[in-house]
Structure formats: structure tokens, C-alpha cells
Homo-oligomer: A and B are copies of this chain.
Amino acid sequence: MSILVLGTAALDTVKTPSGLRTKMLGGSAVHFAMSSRLFTKVHLVAIVGRDFPPAYIHFLQRRGIILDSLLTGVGRTFHWAGEYQGDMNTAITKKTELGVLSSFSPVITPVQRRIKNVFLANVDPDIQRSLLDCMDDPRLVALDSMNFWIQNKRPSLVRMLKRVTIYVANDQEARSLTGEHNLLKAAQGLLRMGPAMVLIKKGEHGVIFFSKKYIFSLPAFPMQRVIDPTGAGDTFAGGFMGYLARAGRFDHKSIKQALVYGTVVASFNVEGFGLNKTSLLTMKDLGRRLQRYRQIVLF
């Protein structure tokens, strides 16, 4: 079963201790799609400007990502510039040029309206709502956001949480939305806000999943060298949703497996700048690393 992902397609300028890359292909929807394409058909809903290199379009198409609803607006592509230092856990944003993103109004095809699995990656919650309003009868809707929207569009975000199955957050976002420092209490607070499931990403410390019935906790794949963590969270979500969409069910066993696949695919993301590693990835590579992960975690 296919997935529809709404989010950003961006040009990313990233500086890390390993080097500087200028205007690479990036964005939340793009990282998500590059990961979930390994599991199922992915339809990307985003906007780019007229400066968006045609080579990037071909690059996405060659990986089988469906671009019927990738709009081109008048203006420049969303450009993010950031830097990672030290523990590489937090990006220092140097520049955010919204460009065409500031007037983004998603449009989808009649076929896409009927897609059952929807991932609302990080964009303005009002844009997330307008996309969800277009969907006929989605079965699994997951939503990601960021601190900027928690602070500036909290009522919109809170309304959206009542309409989604899974809220995907990082630990800071979970804390800031609920005011609870303890992650279990924060997750319980988030579950009370509407979603049936809450998935909290903790970066190098792994991931923890909550529903009313279950808690699952997994460590990250231990990495010796982190080149560029940009997009790791969306890559995780892509593996997680990709697995669930392919499995066609979300019982607790499938969810655990999906968390494992998300963890493993995210470990490739950080090993290269931008999409360098994930765009070359095959299910065989995933399978091999999954075996190593099993040895590291299972007892």
C-alpha cells in the first residue's frame, strides 16, 4: 500500500566537522521519501522554486518517487543553512529562507486522495490540515512537527493531534508541548491530546514508542562516525511508515518491526552528507545491518 508524504523539498547548506556542502537536495518530505521508497510506492507533496535543479527532479524520479504533486512556485526553493558541532545532536540554524514555502498550498490528484497511509512531515500545521482535509479516508496518519510550530502555532497543532494516529516528535518537542520533563509523563500527556500512538525520537539515544497499551524502547545503531545527521528523523519515520504500509497492519508486532527498520535505515542517513547514503541503499544493505543490530540488542 502506498504512502503520501507532505513536507518540504529543500536546498540544504550544511557544515559539519566533516566538511561543507552547499545547496544539496534535502527537506523533510524528500528524506522521508528516500527512506520509505525502499518499502513501498511513495507520492511526494511539496513545493520548489524555479531555481530547483532539474537534476534533482531526475534524481528523485530515478528512485521511483512519484512527483505528480511536486509543485513549482514563483520564487526560490526553501533554503536551510545549518551547522553541527561537538556532539552533533543539535543543528545551529544559520539561515532559513522560506521562498515559495511561504505561499505553499498543497494540491493532490484524485488517485492520491484515496491513499491510505499519510505522513505529514514538518511544515506549518495549517498546511498539514489543508492536505488532510483533501484525503478521502486515510487509515494511518502520522504527523511530525517542530519547536517553531509548537511555539507559534500551538492551537493549530493541537487541533491536528486530534486527527492523527501517530504523533512523531523528538524528546525536546514532546517536553515543550506538554511541559513535562519525564518522557513517560510527556508521552501520556500527548496520548491524552488525541493520537493513539506517540513515537519519541531521541537521536543517538534511540527511540521510544507509546500507545495506551504498550511501551517499546530501542537504542540507536551505534555509529562510529556521524558525517551529517540532517534528515535522520525523517529517514527514521520513512522506514517506520514504509514498513507499516507494506505490512498493511499496525498491530504491536508490526510496530516493533517498523521501529527496528526505522532505526536501521536512519543509521545509514548519518553516514553521509544529505542523501548520499540513503539514495544508494537497497533492501539487501538494510537486511545486513539489521542482522548486526539484532546481535547488538537482542538477549
Contacts and interface: CB of A to CB of B under 8 A. Distances in A.
A163 interface: no
A282 to B, nearest CB: 22
A223 B184 contact: yes
B87 A181 contact: yes
B208 A222 contact: yes
A111 interface: no
Interface stretch (A101-109, A126-134, A211-219): A211-219
Contacts of A257: 299
A259 B296 CA distance: 12
A291 interface: no
A226 B182 contact: yes
A271 B185 CA distance: 15
A256 interface: yes
A54 interface: no
Interface in A16-30: none
Nearest to A224: B184
Interface residues of A, number: 32
A201 B298 CA distance: 18
- Residue of A183, A214, A222 with most partner-chain B CB within 10 A: A222
A225 B182 contact: yes
A185 B87 CA distance: 13
A55 interface: no
A154 interface: no
A264 to B, nearest CB: 11
A216 B181 contact: no
A116 interface: no
B219 A215 contact: no
A202 interface: yes
A188 to B, nearest CB: 8
A260 interface: yes
B182 A297 contact: no
A99 interface: no
A149 B206 CA distance: 31
Closest 8 CB pairs of A and B: A217-B219, A205-B205, A256-B299, A184-B224, A219-B219, A217-B296, A260-B299, A215-B296
